[in-house]
Chains A and B, each alone.
Chain A
Amino acid sequence: MNKATSHDGVPLRERDIKTIVNAGLARRHAAERRFRWYGLIAISLGLAFVVLMFANIIGKGLPAFWQTYIQVPIHFDAAVLDPEGNRDPQTLASADYGALVRAGLRQTFPAVEGRLPLRALSALLSTDAAYELQRRVLADPQLIGAQQEIWLLASAAVDTFVKGNIDRTLDEANRPIKDQQIEWIDQLRAADKIERQFNAVLFRNGDSREPEQAGIRGALMGSFFTLLVTFLLSFPIGVATAVYLEEFAPKNRWTDIIEVNINNLAAVPSIVFGLLGLAVFINFFGLPRSAPLVGGLVLSLMTLPVIIIAGRAALTSVPPSIREAALGMGASKLQMVGHHVLPLAMPGMLTGSIIGMARALGESAPLLMIGMVAFIVDVPKGFLDPATVLPVQIYLWSDLPERAFVERTSAAIMVLLAFMILMNGLAILLRKRFERRW
């Protein structure tokens, strides 16, 4: 409405307009207030869910960062470890370290007799205790013959009990830890020989079926190798594609079709890329299953459209005057792009790539198809070693019967979330600090 006119075309007097405006003012203000309230309610509802989710995950997962250890006097008996006395690494590796652990426990509880009680006593410690002693002796053979107080990993049942997740008033048959064991734990507590320490195992080990020995190192390395492949492939190709489409390609029906397809690909469910990866990379090219290389290839298919779209948006936001000035100074088109447009668009492109990579980090569905949903103990050392990734590790742990895996699942989620926040934070930082606005 350019000019205030009544519906029969006669100009309204100023006073009439005022009356009409005033009459509707209260209603319009009320509508605006309502809209603000709706927005506020929507946001607080969303925030409440986020807080609930974080509180739930952190509440469950935080205890997993501490782990119960029991102090046991260990005598590195030369007669057990190295009967021939020649310090042969082969003999040292295959010695009966379990015997040392059992002897140490018996020394702590000399009153325990009989096969079954002794087994219950051994069950206080993780099966890793013997391997821990083995590692120590192999690292330092000087230990042989020495007597040391050593903190050894407690079993998952003891750990769960110490963290207060098992009710001691329950009927003995209904809890994984028996009356006798509770008695021993109480004695250890009184003697200050049981304590919670930072759970370094979680960050040092690969997967394990014993909750107290399970770690996310393998999954982290798997994620690292997978994302490295994804980045090395999708970033250069994505940037090159965006530059070509935006700066060089003629605008015709073909480029339109390509553009529609790229936008489409960005919305395709990720499991489809998994099927494609299975058919092409594994069945046709014969690449090994479960390898981070294949995972990276599949995830780069998924990330490419995101990077291309973000890259094109970043390129269009560079004003044409920059291009014209460069061309005017006699630069070739490639020089214009390489020296001027691309550097100016780079922060936006990087932001888009990081967000795409963060999405790839959290992806598990396409990896189901290519065999990365697997139990892998050895930490992967390269692009072809069998590996799994963090979100898949979370999925696998959530499905296991042992109670102690519940808190480890949440702990793994916390680590994944930390990486997500880090990456998205980096994206925002890049945008804030380097992006130029015209």
Chain B
Amino acid sequence: MIKDKLAFGAVAALALAGAVHAQSARDYISIVGSSTVYPFTTAVAEQFGKANAQFKTPKVESTGTGGGFKLFCGGVGVQHPDISNASRPIKKSEVETCAKNGVTEIVEINIGFDGIVLASSKKNQPMPLTIKDIWLALAKEVPDASGKLVANPHKTWKDVNPALPANKIEVLGPPPTSGTRDAFVELVMDHGCKEFDAIKTLEKSDEKKAKAACQTVREDGAFIEAGENDNLIVNKLVANPNALGVFGYSFLEENLDKIQGETINGVAPNFESIADGKYPVSRPLFVYVKKAHVGVIPGIKEFIAEFTSEKAVGDDGYLGRKGLIPLPDNKRKQVATDARSLKTLSL
């Protein structure tokens, strides 16, 4: 029993030492945030660690965009993260929370674009879709001939658009907690519904109701929430050739031998069409840096330099090979200069 007491004492002492240590210093960069940006930030972190022997490799947590900002805006000090990944711009409410906790100076870096694709098995005929078709197929309620909203009656793609094959509507997508789902709703559903006069009239009378009509995805089995894991969706598409899947462009690129991306509004998802903005369903990805930590935590400046270097985010950078779509040349130069001079965000 004496041994047990000793062991307990040792651990207690250790815990105390830990608390002291935690308050004194952190010699690695701590990054939190979006799981969509995670594959890119981790690649930069690894390169940074390899190229700069004097710094430790940053730690990158995958917490989701919202969860990331919650931690990031927790305050200034070593116990709070230095950088947050985001698959959408920071919200005004989040900037306010940040300011309330003393995080007033934030540097925003737009690192590139991510395309969201609708893909199906190669065994299936390609389907030229439009945003309108997708909304008609997936909205919970659609306007009927008289313009009244009724429960979505469409069973096959042919019901939606006579030019499409008579395949059952079956779309595998991420759950509402996912950033990909947010972007899909914002970029496809919100735009698709605007093509109907009934929704436009509704918008004038009752904006909230119109928004709900636009964004609510049907729950009768045509849209299947297939979980956060995009690899799983790819596997399910191969097993079920009739189904379509919604996921990030990098997963399409890695699995081009098994699946194909559907054209949307006549544009096929590929590196070039997303980069020049022709492909309609793409979103910017961001990294936010806490300026107060620059110079306190070693290596943040150098990390920003690595993240904005041509080697990483350039047309032929290593992040491009991981599926990130680079910004246009002039925008990229602007972002790099702003980031390196630590220009802070102003709302």
Contact = CB atoms under 8 A, between A and B. Distances in A.
Contacts of B79: 282, 286, 288-289
B23 interface: yes
Interface string A273-300: 0000000001001111111010001000
A226 B44 CA distance: 28
B192 to A, nearest CB: 27
Contacts of A215: none
A399 to B, nearest CB: 6
Given A236-B7, A287-B19, A398-B229, A376 B59 contact: yes
B230 interface: yes
A174 B11 contact: no
Interface of A is mostly: loop
B253 A167 contact: no
A406 B231 contact: yes
Contacts of A399: 35, 228-231
A23 B97 CA distance: 82
Contacts of A233: 8, 11
Interface string B212-251: 0000000000000000111100000000000000001011
B39 to A, nearest CB: 6
Nearest to A396: B62
Nearest to A130: B50
A350 to B, nearest CB: 13
B149 interface: no
Interface in B25-39: 26, 28, 30, 32, 35, 38-39
Contacts of B253: 401
Given A236-B7, A377-B45, A377-B49, A290 B257 contact: no
Contacts of B38: 375
A169 to B, nearest CB: 10
B231 A398 contact: yes
Interface in A367-387: 371, 373-378, 383-384, 386
Nearest to B43: A209
A17 interface: no
B18 A401 contact: no
B230 to A, nearest CB: 7
B45 A375 contact: yes
A131 interface: yes
A210 to B, nearest CB: 8
Contacts of B26: 288
Contacts of A338: 1
Contact of A374 (B8, B60, B256): B60
A232 B43 contact: no
A69 B60 CA distance: 30
A188 interface: no
A236 B22 contact: no
A376 B57 CA distance: 8
A306 B32 CA distance: 33
Nearest to A372: B61
Given A208-B46, A232-B8, A291-B18, 17 more contacts: A131-B50, A166-B257, A167-B257, A173-B256, A174-B256, A175-B257, A207-B42, A287-B18, A289-B30, A297-B15, A338-B1, A375-B41, A377-B45, A378-B28, A398-B231, A399-B230, A401-B250
Interface of B: 1, 4-5, 7-8, 10-11, 14-15, 18-19, 21-23, 26, 28, 30, 32, 35, 38-39, 41-43, 45-46, 49-50, 53, 56-57, 59-63, 79, 228-231, 248, 250-251, 253-257, 322-323
The 4 closest A-B pairs by CB, nearest first: A236-B4, A377-B57, A375-B60, A375-B42
10 contacts: A93-B53, A207-B42, A208-B46, A240-B1, A285-B19, A287-B19, A375-B45, A377-B57, A386-B30, A401-B254
